[in-house]
Every structure is written in structure tokens, then in C-alpha cells.
Amino acid sequence: QKEVEQDPGPLSVPEGAIVSLNCTYSNSAFQYFMWYRQYSRKGPELLMYTYSSGNKEDGRFTAQVDKSSKYISLFIRDSQPSDSATYLCAMDSSYKLIFGSGTRLLVRP
């Protein structure tokens, strides 16, 4: 079983839609969870950083962590064409990040 699993997509939605991106993980030792956005030929850009189970909101973005199910989600409200990118989940394993494979999102105008 892979440590972190993420559907690669692509996920195509119309502008204004609510987007749901998800990752599952197998290692219960993970305590910190991140979502990064990566545009083509750019580095990962930190979007959300969470520690405990529950929700964290920042503008149009909400990160959700369910440690009991080993499942994390990122919701994007009122999606915009500029949100088109690859979204990477990452888990902190003491001095290193373990990444999912990334979900490619396309928001159609």
C-alpha cells in the first residue's frame, strides 16, 4: 500500500463550481498535513497547513483532516480559471514531506 494516495485526475469543472480534492494515507504517525498548488514548470506553493483533525478555512479554501479515516480533503469554493493547476497533498514525516502524486484541476471559463 502506498503511503499517500491521490487521484491524478484530470478534474474538469466549470467556473464557479465547488471543487473537492482528496488524499488517503496509511501511516498513522503523520501529524501535519499540507496542500500545495503547482503551476506548470513552477515549484509547489503552500496553500494550507493543518495539524489536527477538523476544518481550517482560508478565503475560498477549506482543508479538512479526518485522522480516524486517514483521509484529507481540500475544498475550493467559487473556483476560478486561475485555480487551474496541479494540487499536491503532503504529509510531514519528521524532517521530510511525503507527497501524493497530485490532482490536475482544470477550471473552464
Partner 1 sequence: EPEVTQTPSHQVTQMGQEVILRCVPISNHLYFYWYRQILGQKVEFLVSFYNNEISEKSEIFDDQFSVERPDGSNFTLKIRSTKLEDSAMYFCASSSPRGSNQPQHFGDGTRLSIL
> Residues interacting with partner 1, by CB under 8 A?
31-32, 34, 36, 41-46, 49, 88, 90, 92, 94-102
Give me the count of residues in the chain: 109
| Nearest CB to partner 1, comparing residues 95 and 109 | 95
Amino acid at 60: R
Nearer to partner 1, 17 or 31 (CB): 31
Whether the CB-CB separation of 44 and 37 falls below 8 Å is answered with yes
Task: State the minimum distance, in angstroms, from the CB of residue 108 to partner 1.
Answer: 23
State the nearest-atom distance from the C-beta of 12 to partner 1, in Å. Answer: 19
Integer angstrom CA distances of residue 70 from 5, 7, 60, 88, 105: 11, 15, 24, 16, 23
Please identify, using beta-carbon distances, which residue of 18 and 46 lies nearer to partner 1: 46
